[in-house]
Amino acid sequence: MIFDTATLTDPGMVRENNEDSSFALETSLPTTSEAVSLGIYIVADGMGGHQAGEVASKMAVQIISTTLLDKFREAKGAPSPSLFVKQAIEKANAEIYASASGNPHLSSMGTTVTLGLRLDNRLYLAHAGDSRAYLITDERIEQITRDHSLVQRLIELDQLTPEEAAEHPQRNVLYRAIGQSDTLDVDAITRRLPPRSRLLLCSDGLWNMVSEETIRQVVTEAAYPQDACDKLVRLANDRGGPDNITVVLVQVPG
């Protein structure tokens, strides 16, 4: 199976530096019978100011991608992808927290992370923060991650509507992200990717500015994933681009 994948990151129209980082890899995993298609997709949105966020997001992407590849290379018998994704993020959290604790210039650094590990059409997703993953078909778009933000928690408690959350002064406050403490509770789910569907990972610089329905239309109407990435970033910038924007898009064959 051939999965067409594209990624794009942009600083936006307001910020001078880009604290987002991304990673996308398509390869194959040899097995005793036949090769399995393997994909690794990561979006990380750094925070902390004074380039600390940029350091954190780059560290997260590097540690997670390297850890996953090492685990598959060292695995004996059947691999454990659902365990691997959680362990990779936990390792990134431990190393970033230790770096921040030992350097006063990086003491406030942290990052969101959304990680997709794909084996053929099976997706293993792990997540902390408010970068999102969407599963998109011609008919619908589904957010398959849950934002670890204050406003999302208030929505779940029926104390805030989604419309109020969009304008809330604390809409960017996270209660869970990499680097905040020495331990991290990682959300992890497993999904099947339907034929001809699309997997989209993105930072809040996209979903805060472009509606889910517009995202679906752009993704499903684009001839190629890179065209969709280009247009989504352009739309976010056309609407002000107040934040960094990062997109990873995977086209599932079928």
The CATH number of residue 185's host domain is 3.60.40.10
In sequence order, the β-bridge partners of residue 3 are none
pLDDT for the residue numbered 75: 81
pLDDT for the residue numbered 65: 98
**71 occurs within a structural domain:** yes
**105 occurs within a structural domain:** yes
Which long-range CB contacts under 8 A does 13-17 form with residues at least 24 apart?
A: 13/237, 13/240, 13/241, 13/242, 14/240, 14/241, 14/242, 14/243, 15/242, 15/243, 15/244, 17/51, 17/54
AA letter at 241: G
pLDDT for the residue numbered 108: 87
Quote the radius of gyration of the chain (alpha carbons, Å). 18
In sequence order, the β-bridge partners of residue 93 are none
Tens-binned pLDDT, residue by residue, of the chain (254 aa): 789 999 999 999 999 999 999 999 999 987 767 789 999 999 999 998 768 999 999 999 999 999 999 999 888 767 899 999 999 999 999 999 999 998 888 888 999 999 999 999 999 999 999 999 999 999 999 999 999 987 777 777 777 777 666 666 666 779 999 999 999 999 999 999 999 999 999 999 999 999 999 999 999 999 999 999 999 999 999 999 999 999 999 999 99
> In whole angstroms, how far apart are CA 142 and each of 132, 137, 145?
10, 9, 9
**179 occurs within a structural domain:** yes
pLDDT for the residue numbered 151: 78
**205 occurs within a structural domain:** yes
The number of C-alpha atoms within 13 Å of 160 and in the hemisphere containing its C-beta is 18
pLDDT for the residue numbered 164: 67
Report how many domains make up the chain: 1
**212 occurs within a structural domain:** yes
Tell me how far apart the alpha carbons of residues 5 and 144 are, in angstroms, rounded to a whole number. Answer: 19
**30 occurs within a structural domain:** yes
DSSP state, residue 149: B
Nearest Cα residue to 178 out of 131, 133, 144: 131
Number of C-beta neighbours around residue 31 at 10 A: 10
Task: Please report where in the chains the tokens 């979006």 appear, as a residue.
Answer: 43
Domain that holds residue 225: 4-142+173-251
| b/e sequence 177-203, b meaning 16+ C-beta within 10 Å | bbbbeeebebbeeebebeeebbbbbbb
Cβ proximity of 106 and 52 under 8 Å: yes
The interaxial angle of helices 81-101 and 52-74, nearest 10 deg, is: 140
**152 occurs within a structural domain:** no
**164 occurs within a structural domain:** no
Question: Where do the DSSP E strands lie in the chain?
Answer: 4-10, 20-29, 36-47, 110-111, 113-119, 122-128, 132-136, 141-143, 187-192, 198-202, 245-251
